[in-house]
Structures are given as C-alpha cells and as structure tokens.
C-alpha cells in the first residue's frame, strides 16, 4: 500500500476515535441517555446514523458477488433480509412503535401483554432473542472484516505461540478493528455511535462516488458490453434462471446452476412470502428499533425512517456497481478460467479489486469508507444488544434500584461480553454467506410469527408470544447445527431437487412451528387483561382484529375511532417497494451505461416519490406530535 493510502486510513481511525470519545460525556446522565441519546438527537442525524449502520462491509462484499454473477436482478436477493421491511417501518410501524415511549423492544412487549407472568415471559424471550441476534451479527462482521482486511493489507500478522497459531492474520485484523470500535462505542453510548456514524456515512458516500466515477472514466462501454449479456442487464425473470453469460464465460453459468438459486421464481416467491410477514412483524430488537425509540416524537420517528430509505441505496449501489464493473473487466476472464470456481471466490472480489485495480488516494478513501461501513454497523449492534441485558434483565430482575453510574458501568461490562461472544461465534462460521442465510432466514424466521400476531390480533397473549418465539428459535438454532451440504429439498417428481437446503426454504417450516407455539400458548391460557389491551390499543392504534377492545373503548368514549388505514398503508408499501427498488437499480444502470433502463428507473423514482408525497408525507405532517 502507498503511504498516502495508509495515511488516509490512519487519519480516519484517529478522527473517528476522537469524535466518539469527545461526545462521550453526554452518555453519563443515565441509561436513557446512554442507549437512546436522551431522546434529544435530531431525526436527520438518526436517519444518517441508521443508514450508515446498514452500510456494512460484509453485506457489501456479499452484494458485490451477487451483482457480478446474477446481474441487475441480484437486487432481489436483498429481499432475503427483507430489505423492504424499512418501507413498512416508514409507512406505519415507526409511528406505532414510537408511541410507546420506552427504551427497548423487550420493554415495549410489556405495554402489549402487561407485567404479569405471561408478560414477563414474553419480555424475557425478546431480550434473549436480541442478545442472540447481536452476537450473531457480530460474528457476521468478524468473518467479513477479517477476510477483507487480510487481503487488502500487505502485512501478515498471525498470533503464534510456538508452533501453534492462536489467530490467523484474518482473525488478528478483525480483533484489532473490533477492539478500536468497541472503545468509543462503550464509552459514549448512543451519542458516540450517532456522531461517528454521521462522519462515517459522509466518508462512505465520497468513496462510492469516487469509485463509480473512476469506473465510469477508465472503462469503456465496449469493454463492459463485451462481457455482460442482455440477460445480465434485465430485472425480469421466469421461474428458472436462463444463461446469463456467453459460452466464453460458461463457468459463471455453471456456478449459477450450482448455487441453489436456479429456480429463481421459487426463491422470489419464498422471499415475498417471508418478507410480507417479516415486515409487518416490525424491526427486530436491534439498532434500527433503537433509532426509532431515540427520536424526539412520533412524527420525527416517521421522518427518520423515510430519510433512512432515501439516503441509503443510491450511494451504496454506486460503490457496488463501480466495484463490479472493474471486476468484470479485470477479473472476469481469470475467474471464468478457474475450474474450481465457487461462491467463496466471489466473496473476495471486493478486496481483490481494491488491492489491484484502484488508484492511490481513491484506494485510501475507499478503504476508510469500508472500514467506516464496518465500524458503524458494528457499533450500532454493540450499543443496541447490551441494552437488553442491562435494562430488561439486570435492572428489572436483579437490581431494580441502583444509581445511573452503576447501570452505565454494567452496560460497559455487558458490551464487552456481547463482543467476546460474537467473536467466539465468528471463529466457527464457514463463510459470510452461511451467516447471512442463517441470520436472515432461520433466526429471523423464528421471530416473525409471534411479532406479526402481536399487532393484529387482540386475543394473542403473552404465553402465545413466549411459546411462539421459543418454538421458532428452537427450530432456527437446530438449523444452524445442521450440515446443509448433505440436505436436499424436493418438491415433487416433475419440479426440482437442489443440492443444498438453503435457509430461505426452511422459513415456512420455522414459521409454521412458531405459529403452532403461538396458537397453543394463546388458546391454552387466558386472554391478556382488558385494561392492558385498552391502553395499548388506545395509544398505538394498530389495524387488525381488535373489535372487542374497540367496542369497549367506543362505549367509554364515543369520539374514539379505529385505524381504517390498512388498505392505504398496504398500497403505500407497494409503492414504497417500487420506490426503493428504483433507487437500487438506478446507479447500477448508470455505471454500466445502460441509459434507457437508467431513465426508466429514474422515472419510476420520480413518480413514486411524487405519489408518496401526497399519500405518506402529507399524512405524517398532520400527526400532532
């Protein structure tokens, strides 16, 4: 690496540590200040922070590989998360959640089910889920940043004890970066996280623009079109993926056939099925939920969620598309000649391009940007996860009356513990892809059913929630232990058989078990106290099957009106998905110089933005607080 690039990276790290530690004094006023910024951070800063937290380096490396292999339609792989749950949050869930005025998603559960035995059981299982999810994501980041840094940086730094290797270079790099990030995150809480993430977002945007510009200037239309096909450029698909590559690049067609996504229609259908329920279930108890709860008011929660969608996708996909175009021209022929090509080879496209095909100066900024992407997402989880340990377990059940100083010290210890557990799990992960599939499809599959029902059905109670989560998480944990390479998924004799049981196909099984637990727990126990249901329904005002509660409230107050916005919210979500998708494909088509499709994408973006101004933004402006 050139001294200029190294200097940029060192300057970035020093600046981030300085900013994070400088604002840390604000976190010492109590738990609410430490974990929520005292509900005193402006919504656009929280939106930038939220967007920055979603701009992670492991996910970016994964999406670079997908775009390289599958082309424009690869953006639909993002539905595995599902990425458009942010649209559901923007349209109505942010408002519902923020009305609770609490600190964590686990604490929020008590407002729905009460503080009795069933409410506390459901409260505890959410806290456990949040901690497991935080540990899983830290493992995901550990795997990604270690692989990335060991390829980029020229120094081998394994930690050895005699002939025994304690840590490889990948693991050593990951531990160093995690250690530096943990310092300011623990010291400053939400204030440090948001302040550093705003800085990191700016760096990531600059890096994305520079990389896309470099690819645009140095690589010609002819070079791009000599490699990619018409099928690669299109977002449309049939039930089965056809050849995306010419005969010269047949190895890439073979890789598509072996990846388990050949039946693309089934994959998208399953993603849509999962995505609908997962999105209505609401954000998982992680940093996204913390940002909503950190806003000053209900109205600002909606603003923040909409702003997150607006600022995230275009800069991120400028970077991804720029990297992919460079990889297509300079790495494509070499990769296609590899007789043992696998998905793991695609995970290292990002660091290989940076290492060998990005000029001095831009390389340093890009590395700083990707480090920022890692550090922002990692710090968000390190701030969110321990909140459940301290506020929902330690404070509630072990030491309910202690000083703010005491709770903040316990928060520091909890943060270190979560980081250590995440790093330990990262040592056992096979790849970024395996962790991605487990987190998005299996672990979150166990979360969906109970959290979907909690919004829409008055009879659903705390024991139903508890057993729904337990059933789902038990199956998800079992799935993580299975050897996927030996599993098969067969629909029937004329359909297909794939060589790997990808976690997305297990979602209906996990969802079904979770539903079974939810219904058994609900119908075998008594309903939630009516006073609790009345308070929840009056404050949150969700739509769904709430007639008995609504009838009582209407009797007590004739002016009370139920939420009749289900149809409008669903239409807005559909428009929002198109809006979000246009922001993903627009930079892709721009960088590959497919101008007709670029202008179509821009037209979709402009039209959907105008529609949402009237159907969403104007409604939000009328919210009283």
pLDDT-based confidence at 546, cuts 50/70/90?
very high
Residue 230 exposed, middle or buried by CB count within 10 Å (0-12, 13-18, 19+): exposed
Give the pLDDT band (50/70/90) at residue 498.
very low
- Output the pLDDT for position 257: 83
29 alpha carbon, distance to own chain's centre: 30
Q: Is the pLDDT of residue 439 over 70?
A: no
Question: What is the β-pairing status of strands 164-167 and 159-161?
Answer: antiparallel
Name the band, by pLDDT with cuts 50, 70 and 90, for residue 344. Answer: low
Residue 453 has pLDDT above 90, yes or no: yes
Which pLDDT score is estimated for 107? 76
Task: Supply the pLDDT for residue 499.
Answer: 32
Instruction: Indicate if the pLDDT at residue 276 is higher than 80.
Output: yes
Q: Which residue has the higher pLDDT, 36 or 359?
A: 359
pLDDT band at 502 (very low <50, low <70, confident <90, very high): low
Say what the pLDDT of residue 550 is: 95
Distance of alpha carbon 345 from alpha carbon 560, whole angstroms = 59
Judge whether residue 320 has pLDDT over 70.
Answer: yes
Rounded CA-CA distance 127/389 in Å is 7
Alpha carbon separation from 459 to 333, 545, 560 (Å, rounded): 60, 9, 21
CA dist 331 to 47, 146, 225, 257, 513, Å?
36, 22, 15, 21, 45
Give the SS3 label for residue 250: helix
Residue 32 belongs to some domain of the structure: no
Question: What is the tally of structural domains in the chain?
Answer: 1
CATH code at position 185: 1.20.1730.10
Kindly tell me the burial class for residue 199, based on how many C-beta atoms sit within 10 Å of its own C-beta (0-12, 13-18, 19 or more): buried
pLDDT of residue 301 exceeding 60: yes
Which of 178-192, 207-221, 478-492, 571-585 holds the top average pLDDT? 571-585
Contacts of 450 (CB under 8 A, 6+ apart): 281, 464, 465, 468, 469, 472, 514, 517, 518
Per-residue pLDDT tens over the stretch 134-163: 877 787 777 777 776 776 676 777 776 666
Res. 319: pLDDT tops 50? yes
Provide the domain limits for residue 372.
3-21+37-234+244-528+563-621
If we measure between CA atoms, which residue out of 56, 374, 42 comes closest to residue 194? 42
| Local confidence band at 103 (pLDDT 50, 70, 90 cut-offs) | low
- Choice among 98-102, 373-377, 424-428, 497-501 with the minimum mean pLDDT: 497-501
What is the Cα 238 distance to its own chain's centre?
28
Of the pLDDT bands very low, low, confident and very high (cuts 50, 70, 90), residue 442 is low
Q: How far is CA 438 from the centre of its chain?
A: 13
For residue 27, is it within any domain? Answer: no
Domain-located, residue 585:
yes
Which helix H or strand E contains 286, and what residues bound it? none
Mean pLDDT of 482-491: 40
Q: Which of 228-237, 254-263, 438-447, 584-593 has the lowest mean pLDDT?
A: 438-447
Residue 206 lies in a domain: yes
> Between these two residues, 360 and 498, which has the higher pLDDT value?
360
542 in any annotated domain: no
* Separation CA 19–CA 10 (nearest Å): 14
pLDDT at 612: 97
Q: Which of 174-188, 489-503, 543-557 has the largest mean confidence?
A: 543-557
H-helix or E-strand containing 613? none
- Is the separation of the CB atoms in 575 and 608 below 8 Å? yes
| DSSP character at residue 401 | S
Higher pLDDT: 179 or 523? It is 523
**pLDDT confidence bin for 219, thresholds 50/70/90:** very high
Tokens encoding 469: 């989560």
Instruction: Answer for the pair 346, 256: CB distance below 8 angstroms, yes or no.
Output: no
Q: What is the DSSP string of 535-587?
A: HHHHHH---SB-HHHHHHHHHH-TT------HHHHHHHHHHHHHHHHHHHHHH
**Measured between alpha carbons, how far apart are the two ends of the chain, in Å?**
52
20, 192 in Cβ contact below 8 A? yes
The pLDDT assigned to 569 comes to 95
Maximum average pLDDT range among 104-113, 276-285, 364-373, 568-577: 568-577
Task: Tell me whether residue 545 is in a domain.
Answer: no
Question: The tokens 């109670």 sit on which residue?
Answer: 461
Beta-carbon count within 10 A of 263 CB: 19
pLDDT category at 348 given cuts 50, 70, 90 is confident
pLDDT number for residue 211: 92
Q: Is residue 550 part of a domain?
A: no
Pick the residue with more confidence: 10 or 606?
606
586: in domain: yes
Residue 424: band (very low, low, confident or very high) from pLDDT cuts 50, 70, 90: confident
> In this structure, what DSSP letter does residue 81 have?
T
pLDDT for residue 400 is more than 90: no
Q: Determine contact, residues 487/501, Cβ cutoff 8 Å.
A: yes
Q: How confident is the model at residue 474 (pLDDT cuts 50, 70, 90)?
A: confident
Any bridge partners for residue 497, and if so which? 490
Residue predicted with more confidence, 597 or 336 = 597
What's the confidence (pLDDT) of residue 485?
40
Q: What is the mean pLDDT of residues 171-179?
A: 82
């099928």: which residue's tokens? Answer: 231
CA distance 27 to 15: 19
Average the pLDDT over 510-539 and give the result.
Answer: 93
Percentage of the chain exceeding pLDDT 90 = 30
- pLDDT bin (cut points 50, 70, 90) of residue 489 is very low
CA dihedral (336, 337, 341, 345) positive or negative: negative
pLDDT at 516 over 90: yes
Mean pLDDT of 187-196: 75
Among 106-120, 375-389, 474-488, 531-545, name the one with the lowest average pLDDT: 474-488
Q: Specify the pLDDT at position 89.
A: 92
**Can you give the pLDDT at residue 454?**
93
pLDDT, residue 500, reads: 40
């Amino acid at each position: 690496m050139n001294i200029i690039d190294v200097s940029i990276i060192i300057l970035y790290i020093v600046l981030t540590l300085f900013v994070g530690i400088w604002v840390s004094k604000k976190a010492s006023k109590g738990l609410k200040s430490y974990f929520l910024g005292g509900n005193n951070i402006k919504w656009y800063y929280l939106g930038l922070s939220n967007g920055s937290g979603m701009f992670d380096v492991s996910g970016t490396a994964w999406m670079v590989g997908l775009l390289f292999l599958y082309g424009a339609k690869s953006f639909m792989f993002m539905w595995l998360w599902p990425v458009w749950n942010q649209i559901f949050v923007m349209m109505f869930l942010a408002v519902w959640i923020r009305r609770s005025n609490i600190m964590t998603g686990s604490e929020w559960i008590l407002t729905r089910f009460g503080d009795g035995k069933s409410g506390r059981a459901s409260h505890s299982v959410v806290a456990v889920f949040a901690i497991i999810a935080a540990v899983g994501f830290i493992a995901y980041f550990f795997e990604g940043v270690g692989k990335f840094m060991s390829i980029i940086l020229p120094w081998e730094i394994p930690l050895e004890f005699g002939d025994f290797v304690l840590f490889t270079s990948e693991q050593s790099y990951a531990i160093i970066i995690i250690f530096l990030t943990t310092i300011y995150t623990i010291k400053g809480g939400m204030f440090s996280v948001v302040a550093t993430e705003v800085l990191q977002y700016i760096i990531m945007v600059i890096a994305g623009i520079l990389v896309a510009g470099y690819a645009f200037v140095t690589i010609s239309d002819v070079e791009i079109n000599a490699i990619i096909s018409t099928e690669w450029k299109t977002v449309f698909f049939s039930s089965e993926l056809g050849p995306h590559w010419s005969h010269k690049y047949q190895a890439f067609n073979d890789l598509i056939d072996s990846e388990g996504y050949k039946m693309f229609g089934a994959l998208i259908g399953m993603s849509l099925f999962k995505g609908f329920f997962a999105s209505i279930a609401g954000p998982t108890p992680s940093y996204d939920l913390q940002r909503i709860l950190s806003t000053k008011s209900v109205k600002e929660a909606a603003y923040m969620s909409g702003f997150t969608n607006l600022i995230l996708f275009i800069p991120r996909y400028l970077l991804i598309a720029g990297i992919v175009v460079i990889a297509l021209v300079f790495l494509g022929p070499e990769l296609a000649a590899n007789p043992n090509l696998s998905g793991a080879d695609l995970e290292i496209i990002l660091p290989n391009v940076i290492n060998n095909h990005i000029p001095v100066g831009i390389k340093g900024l890009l590395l700083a940007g990707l480090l920022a992407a890692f550090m922002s997402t990692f710090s968000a989880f390190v701030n969110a996860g321990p909140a459940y340990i301290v506020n929902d377990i330690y404070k509630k059940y072990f030491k309910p009356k202690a000083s703010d100083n005491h709770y903040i010290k316990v928060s520091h210890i909890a943060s270190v513990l979560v980081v250590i557990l995440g790093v330990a799990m990262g040592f056992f992960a096979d790849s970024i892809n395996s962790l991605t599939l487990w987190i998005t499809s299996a672990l979150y599959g166990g979360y969906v059913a109970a959290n979907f029902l909690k919004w829409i059905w008055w009879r659903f109670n705390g024991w139903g929630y508890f057993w729904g989560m337990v059933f789902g998480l038990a199956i998800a944990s079992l799935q993580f232990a299975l050897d996927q390479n030996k599993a098969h998924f067969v629909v029937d004799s004329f359909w297909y058989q794939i060589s790997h049981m990808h976690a997305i196909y297990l979602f209906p099984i996990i969802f079904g078990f979770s539903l079974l637990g939810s219904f058994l727990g609900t119908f075998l126990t008594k309903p939630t106290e009516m006073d609790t249901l009345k308070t929840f329904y009056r404050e949150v005002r969700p739509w769904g099957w709430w007639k008995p509660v609504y009838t009582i409230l209407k009797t007590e107050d004739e002016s009370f009106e139920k939420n009749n916005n289900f149809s409008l919210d669903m239409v807005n979500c559909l428009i929002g998905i198109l809006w979000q998708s246009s922001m993903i494909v627009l930079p892709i088509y721009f960088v590959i110089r497919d101008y007709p499709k670029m202008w179509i994408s821009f037209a979709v973006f402009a039209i959907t933005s105008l529609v949402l101004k009237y159907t969403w933004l104007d409604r939000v402006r009328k919210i009283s607080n």
